[in-house]
Amino acid sequence: MLGYRQIDGRLQVVPGEAKIVKQIFEDYLSGKGFLAIAKKLNVAGVSTQHGGLWRKDTIRQILTCEKYLGEMLLQKTFRKDHISKKKCINQGELPMTHVKGSHEAIISHAVFEQVKAEMARRAQRFFPKEVTPVTYPFTGRLICEKCGKSYRRKHNNAGTKYEKVVWICSTFNTHGKAVCDAQQIPESILEAKAAEILGLSEFDENVFTMQIKEIRVPSAGRLVFIFHDGFQMETEWQNPSRRESWTPEMKQSAREITMKRNEKRRCE
């Protein structure tokens, strides 16, 4: 182990190697990464304890090793059985023992904790946790028969009074009408048709997911509901007229605009 030699059953500090260990910790806290530190040591001609080249994994191991605190964590690994003698990492299968003050420290607890915090900060910055995608009742169930791809949920005119949630073929959304001219479908219509097919007064997500395996879209204005038992039901739909799709607020706004326009013309 770099920085120590075992003498009479105890770890004794090797000053020259301990200096390298301290420099690695200082370089990391100064902003250098594992690979940059390894390159620096290789360029300087500093050999590893075994005489090979420095690698980023070696740097990571040094920066996370509790032995440099003068402590030891016993039974971090164990043999699976006496026949295969396979070495396994202890992930709670067996108890581990934390021994403090077992030997002379090279790194202080303050520096070690700073490095630990910096590693966590960098991990969050460069490798953020994946966010679980939001799913909806129709996610993965609405299939375009023209190209075979799934529909995806989309907000049209987001942030405006004309905002509307629709489901659109992913091929059409990515590559345009020239590749797939599948028609987008308002979510309100999908919910209404699903309720109609299932004999419900209104859309129920739980009933829908329990009963419907997928909805296929063979052409504009047509939906084929496929139940989990293989039974199929087809229905047709059409977009409501522009006037029918307007909310009371939208209608009031249109009236006010028309009144202002007429007033302006009258006074000219």
**Buried b or exposed e, range 136-175, using 16+ CB within 10 angstroms:** ebbeebbbbebbebbbbeeeeeeeeeeeeebbbbbbbeee
Higher pLDDT, 21 or 81: 21
Express each pLDDT in 16-46 by its tens digit.
Answer: 999 999 999 999 999 999 999 999 999 998 8
* Mean pLDDT, residues 112-119 taken together: 94
The rounded distance, in Å, linking the Cα atoms of 252 and 70 is 76
Q: pLDDT tens digit string along 127-153?
A: 666 666 778 999 999 999 999 999 999
Q: Tell me the pLDDT band of 229, cut-offs 50, 70 and 90.
A: very high
- Looking at residue 53, what is its pLDDT? 86
Q: Please say if the pLDDT value at position 160 is more than 60.
A: yes
The predicted structure's pLDDT at residue 254: 65
C-alpha span between 191 and 153 (Å, rounded): 13
Task: Please say whether the beta carbons of 205 and 212 come within 8 A.
Answer: no
How much is the average pLDDT of 171-185? Answer: 86
pLDDT (average), residues 197-220:
93
Residues 9 and 99: their CA atoms lie apart, in Å, by: 15
Confidence at 75, pLDDT banded by 50, 70, 90: low
- Alpha carbon 154 to chain centroid distance? 20
Question: pLDDT: is 202 or 256 the higher one?
Answer: 202
Rounded mean pLDDT, 61-66? 92
Asked whether 197 and 234 are in contact (CB, 8 A), the reply is no
Considering only 2-11, 25-34, 176-185, 255-264, which range has the smallest mean pLDDT?
A: 255-264
pLDDT at 61: 93
Average pLDDT, the chain: 85
Per the model's pLDDT, the better-predicted residue between 254 and 28 turns out to be: 28
Q: Examine the pLDDT at 175 and tell me if it is beyond 90.
A: no
Residue 260 has pLDDT above 80, yes or no: no
Q: Delineate the domains of the chain, giving CATH numbers in brackets.
A: 4-126 (3.90.1750.20), 142-237 (no CATH)
Q: What is the DSSP letter of 59?
A: H
